A and B are shown apart, each in its own frame.
Chain A
Amino acid sequence: MDATARARDLLGVTRLSDSALTSWLHSLPGVDQVGCEARAASLGTRSIKTTSKAWAIDLAISMIDLTTLEGADTPGKVRGLCAKALTPDPTDPATPRPAAVCVYGDLAAVAKKALGSSGVNVAAVATAFPSGRALMPVKLADTEDAVQAGADEIDMVIDRGAFLSGDYLTVFREIAQVAQACVRPEGSRARLKVIMETGELVTYDNVRRASWLSMLAGADFIKTSTGKVSPAATLPVTLVMLEAVRDWRDATGEMVGVKPAGGIRTSKDAVKFLVAVSEVAGDDWLDPYWFRFGASSLLNDLLLQRQKLATGAYSGADYVTDDSPSLY
């Protein structure tokens, strides 16, 4: 069933219109900002120790989309990042690998070549990332090119302008069309992550509505941010998204993944997100297939903590390899 037909079905309407989407999205319960942030803060006070911590660190590593999204990216840098993904910690081969390497579409082929059949996926951003300000044919071509270059996952951006102006149908159609563009010639498809750029949506009510709209249109993942807008992946925003995928499963039986991206730099932060995943969405989501961190420096901090747990001594930056040092 295509996305529109399914949406009609879910909404109980014969024609999917802007007003049908509006009444559906606006009937979702509101989010009280203060209460939501208080809940996130309280989840953040959970204390994780010893074996749970070791487990959480390894899980977090395995959930990373190791990311480089800069104008200055080169094939060399991407290859370096891929090498890092394949061998996060040369001193400990038992270290898990990140879930994916995330790059611009034009470098997807480079990444694919470097990662091969290692199991580490290639994720490519598409649809005129990060602003999304392009005509639809351009966005679709962007997507198709990346898929063709070997991307296993596509990270698209929604048209925030359309969303904020209430043109939900446009947002829906774009996502649905990009999801179609993720289909490979032989019928398999790249998984689609829908970046809502929550920092530009500003309110949690908008985040909730954008989450449901994205899921309705066929998102495999809902993702907070491009990393180019601040604030990016905050815990409360992620909390709202976790509530959305939880309630979506209640409503449809389907699971959708969640990816906070941008601004998560420390192990401590990562663990807070995992606590939220566990307590809000449930342990089914504690799996790299359903939860990702979009991050770059987070990996090394997790490795430092991992070494600390292994040796009992605090580690230092010189003891973890760095494949994406600053240009400057």
Chain B
Amino acid sequence: MSATVSAGTTRGPGAADTRVDVRKTYKLYIGGKFPRSESGRSYEVVDHRGRFLANAAQGSRKDARDAVVAARAAFAGWAGSTAYNRGQVLYRVAEVMEGRRAQFVAEVRASEGLAERRAEAVVSQAIDRWVWYAGWADKLAQVLGGLNPVAGPYFDISAPEPTGVVGVLAPQGSSLLGLVSVVAPVVVSGNTVVVLTSEQRPLPAITLSEALATSDVPGGVVNLITGRTAEVAPWIASHRDVNAIDLAGAAAADGVSWGDLELAAAENLKRVVRPAGAGSDAVEPDWSRTPDLSRVTSFLETKTVWHPKGR
């Protein structure tokens, strides 16, 4: 018997008083569309007790490549949109998630094995995190930028700008809150992102992509790839059109050495956010803690513009 993750009660087939539920095909999310993996592969996703949940698409390096192309294509428009607009879009994600919270709770429960109340709390936090970051969109430039009082007749101003296309290894453990906690701070400033979801717990990510697709996030701004982290991550780390990479998901990822990924990232001087932990260890932090701005600033550039002041 398989455990489903629909929000309603589930019964075995043939029970007289229930209909046979329609199950979802879990796919990738690239460029605003939901393709299967170009490789045609899928892998079994099980719940915390090892029971079958679904077949997820097993993304390939070519899917990652397509996702980077989509992210790059979306960058200029997203970075060039007004901060007010980005804030509204992020807030809209929270609204749409709220409407689907039962599904998120069910998937988080199934994926992470949380008790219902705990899963409720996690989903609430994930939604609230979007709201928190949404509010930052039109404040970052004021908080992080400003006028520089140079010793000369010049107007000199520094402002943050998004760094470009960011690769994100989403946390392996916290399949929704952790995911939101690493994606929202990247996109709030105008970056676009290619996310490798939690390998073992990809279902909330896929549902999130459905929320993203229906909440005014332009196609290509967030791209989600399910699959084997160890297989795809090196291609993102070495991709020369990716400007930065967050290695949070290297913690507890099968066969993944974050040091190797950082080494590959050095080839085009990606900005690298290392996983938490000491030495070569990588640990997954407690995502329920209130974040600070560091995940936002890690994916920002400071642009300084000079102009003479004269008559």
Q: Do chains A and B touch in the complex (CB under 8 A)?
A: yes
Q: Beta-carbon contacts of B138-167 to A below 8 Å, as 1s and 0s?
A: 000000000000001110000000000000
How many pairs, one residue from A and one from B, have CB atoms within 8 Å of each other in the complex?
Answer: 16
* B308, A203: Cβ atoms closer than 8 Å: no
Size bin of chain B's contact surface = under 10
- B152 proximity list for chain A (CB < 8 A): 34
- A146 CB to nearest chain B CB (Å): 35
Q: Is B13 an interface residue (CB 8 A)?
A: no
Q: Is B23 an interface residue (CB 8 A)?
A: no
Greatest chain A CB density within 10 A among B152, B154, B310 is at: B310
A34 to B150, alpha carbons, bound, how many Å?
14
A34 to B153, alpha carbons, bound, how many Å?
7
- A34 proximity list for chain B (CB < 8 A): 152-154, 308-310
A203 to B311, alpha carbons, bound, how many Å?
6
Residue in chain B with minimal CB distance to A204? B311
Residue in chain A with minimal CB distance to B310? A33
- B309 proximity list for chain A (CB < 8 A): 34
Q: Is A93 an interface residue (CB 8 A)?
A: no
- B306 CB to nearest chain A CB (Å): 10
Residue in chain B with minimal CB distance to A36? B310
- B311 proximity list for chain A (CB < 8 A): 33, 202-204
- B310 proximity list for chain A (CB < 8 A): 32-34
Residues of chain A in range 11-55 having any CB-CB distance to chain B below 8 Å: 32-35
Greatest chain B CB density within 10 A among A33, A34, A35, A202 is at: A34
- A7 CB to nearest chain B CB (Å): 28
Residues of chain B in range 296-311 having any CB-CB distance to chain A below 8 Å: 308-311
Q: Beta-carbon contacts of A71-104 to B below 8 Å, as 1s and 0s?
A: 0000000000000000000000000000000000
- B57 CB to nearest chain A CB (Å): 58
Residue in chain B with minimal CB distance to A34? B308
A202 to B311, alpha carbons, bound, how many Å?
8
A34 to B311, alpha carbons, bound, how many Å?
9
Residue in chain B with minimal CB distance to A33? B310
- A266 CB to nearest chain B CB (Å): 25
List 5 extra interface pairs beyond A32-B308, A33-B310, A34-B308, CB under 8 A: A33-B308, A34-B152, A34-B310, A35-B308, A204-B311
Residues of B within 8 A of A (CB): 152-154, 308-311
Q: What are 13 pairs between A and B in contact, CB < 8 Å?
A: A32-B308, A33-B153, A33-B308, A33-B310, A33-B311, A34-B153, A34-B154, A34-B309, A34-B310, A35-B308, A202-B311, A203-B311, A204-B311
